[in-house]
Amino acid sequence: MEGRKVTLKDLAVKAGLSVNTISRALKDKEDIAASTRQMIKDLAKEMGYVGNALAGSLRSGLTRTIAVIVSDVANPHFGIMVKEIEKSARKHLYTIFVINTEDDYEMEERAIYTAIGKNVDAIIICPSQRGAENIRFLQKNGVPFVLIGRRFKDEPEFDYVICDDEKGGYLATKHLLDNGHKRVLFLNGPIRISSAQERLEGYKKAHEEAGLQVHEELIIEVGATAGDTRSVVKQLIEQQAEFTGIFAFNDVIAWEAAYVLSKNGYRVPDDYSVIGFDNIQSRIFIPFQLSSVSNSKGKMSKRAVDIVLHKINHPESTRKFNEIIDTKLVLRESTK
């Protein structure tokens, strides 16, 4: 058989049985004796037979695949989220494949076309939010989808599952303010992103509640590219900007900020307290213990899979999914 794919007919010839019997045995049909089913499965494994998923999908109308489109798989936050989605999908006998967009709108468009072209049953997407046209196209196409981690407030018909970003921003900022940091630097993500907008709302709410002025010069957007944070923080140190606490849009930004502080002779938390967002260290153990906002990546991922499976299995359903998962502050050694 070397050099070509093993077929059901090859198995039938080897076993001395009909192709229909072989096919039904491999599908675990109970009209085939259990011992015969096992013998045929063992033979299939021995000969290197793999079933044709495409042929099965043509019969059922389903490929049992879900596309997961994210902006940056290099960020451990998305890596953990993808793993959780895969684990949840696998329990329902679904396979996922991942497409990285690098937070680029045109790459996101191509990713959507690629996923639809591969006839996926559903798409889970963390949108770049440089516009809503890509998501509107998805909606017109009819493929079941759900947004994860970000939402379009002015497009309420898009289903989403996110964390409570405003509460997370509030809790992080409140903790720093309560511990005597009157000037808190907020290293935010691009403001086009809903989570950046909502974490900023939480940051401002904590200041308002504490009766403290929000210093606009301490709210700085940081690009998604590695190294952006380092240059921003380095410049702030050189300018002798006044702040003693840092709240970062995500853990990667927080780690970069702490690295620059350390390189310039400052100590965390003795000189500066730092809080991130995503709580990556709940899964990855790093010597630098970063305080962070936990956004329940596992819950968000599981709900995203549950939502698209509901949409796959109930195409007639008009149920809307606008879900917000709770956030909490996890304190470690980077804050006093």
In CATH, the architecture of 8-51 is Orthogonal Bundle (1.10)
pLDDT value for 1: 46
pLDDT value for 62: 81
Contacts of 61 (CB under 8 A, 6+ apart): none
Contacts of 316 (CB under 8 A, 6+ apart): none
Query: Hey, do 8-51 and 165-295 end up sharing a CATH topology, with the first three levels equal?
Result: no
Question: Which fold would CATH assign to domain 62-163+297-325?
Answer: Rossmann fold (3.40.50)
Number of residues that this document lists for the chain = 336
DSSP-assigned beta bridge partners for residue 245 = 184, 273
Domain spanning 165-295 has what CATH number?
Answer: 3.40.50.2300
Question: What is the pTM assigned to this prediction?
Answer: 0.84
- Mean pLDDT over all residues of the chain? 92
pLDDT value for 248: 97
Query: Would you say residue 218 has pLDDT above 50?
Result: yes
Select the more confidently predicted residue: 28 or 218: 218
Instruction: Give the domain ranges of the chain.
Output: 8-51, 62-163+297-325, 165-295
Q: Coil, helix or strand for 245?
A: strand
Cα end-to-end distance, the chain, whole Å: 67
Dump pLDDT digits (tens) for 204-214. 999 999 999 99
For the segment 255-271, the average pLDDT, to the nearest whole number, is 96
Residue 28: count of CB within 10 angstroms of its CB: 10
Select the more confidently predicted residue: 236 or 155: 236
Q: What percent of the chain has pLDDT over 90?
A: 80
- What is the token pair recorded at 25? 């045995």
- pLDDT category at 55 given cuts 50, 70, 90 is low
Dump pLDDT digits (tens) for 82-109. 999 999 999 999 999 999 999 899 999 9
Q: Coil, helix or strand for 109?
A: helix
Dump pLDDT digits (tens) for 149-173. 999 998 889 999 999 999 999 999 9
Dump pLDDT digits (tens) for 126-140. 999 999 999 999 999
CA distances from 48 to 16, 53, 56 (A): 18, 15, 19
